[in-house]
Chain A
Amino acid sequence: DAGVIQSPRHEVTEMGQEVTLRCKPISGHDYLFWYRQTMMRGLELLIYFNNNVPIDDSGMPEDRFSAKMPNASFSTLKIQPSEPRDSAVYFCASSLAGKGNQPQHFGDGTRLSIL
């Protein structure tokens, strides 16, 4: 079975440019999570969706960040305009709702470098 698929794997761009990260969750999973990993702050939850609806975006750092989930098989995280401090690895994860919480499965991440 295919896991969580993220694209691109690597992105290098200049500050001020718009960046769009993409994620395809595991088929049938109804929770989708976006995380950011940096050396200074570790792994942080940015936002998560349930059945395509954003549930908690309190981790989104500022208005330059936005996330959408137009359907059950696709989500985007957008940064506009990008800044050097946004450089990090961005992970998408998905899980299946059930009785209690379920394991989260992570994609391979997008390594973002803003110059």
Chain B
Amino acid sequence: GIQVEQSPPDLILQEGANSTLRCNFSDSVNNLQWFHQNPWGQLINLFYIPSGTKQNGRLSATTVATERYSLLYISSSQTTDSGVYFCAVERGYGGATNKLIFGTGTLLAVQP
């Protein structure tokens, strides 16, 4: 099956710093989503981004499907950005399945 690798596995930032999280996937995809799991365990959908670039406030994401990676940018980080960031993909052949395969996540801690 498709493999999803995220890096770095964990990251500590000072408030105000910028960061880039990476998601590599082993096969073509037609669906890629970024999620944030906050310290209370809630999973929030950040981006649906199978290709191209999107921005939402201090967050932006870019997916280069042909090179099989996606990047999540966090600018001017805040303590509320802490948590685990997951990338999830759906394979891009054989018709739509809606089955998301999740990466192992990047654990982010933003210190005041």
Chain A interfacial positions (CB closer than 8 Å to B): 31, 33, 42-45, 48, 50, 55-56, 89, 91, 93, 95, 100-106, 108-109, 111
Contact indicator A104/B99 (Cβ below 8 Å) = no
CA distance A50 to B89 in the complex (A): 19
Contact indicator A43/B96 (Cβ below 8 Å) = no
A8 CB → nearest B CB, Å: 14
Contact indicator B45/A108 (Cβ below 8 Å) = no
Contact indicator B98/A43 (Cβ below 8 Å) = no
Main secondary structure of the interface of B (DSSP, over half): strand
CA distance A48 to B99 in the complex (A): 8
Closest residue on chain A to residue B41 by CB atoms: A109
CA distance A109 to B98 in the complex (A): 20
Contact indicator A101/B30 (Cβ below 8 Å) = yes
Contact indicator A105/B45 (Cβ below 8 Å) = yes
CA distance A66 to B68 in the complex (A): 35
A48 touches which of B31, B42, B48, B98 (Cβ 8 Å): B98
**B33, CB-defined interface residue at 8 Å:** yes
Contact indicator A56/B99 (Cβ below 8 Å) = yes
Contact indicator B31/A108 (Cβ below 8 Å) = no
A104 touches which of B97, B100, B104 (Cβ 8 Å): B100
Give the chain A neighbours of B43 by CB distance below 8 A. 91, 93, 106, 109
Contact indicator A95/B105 (Cβ below 8 Å) = no
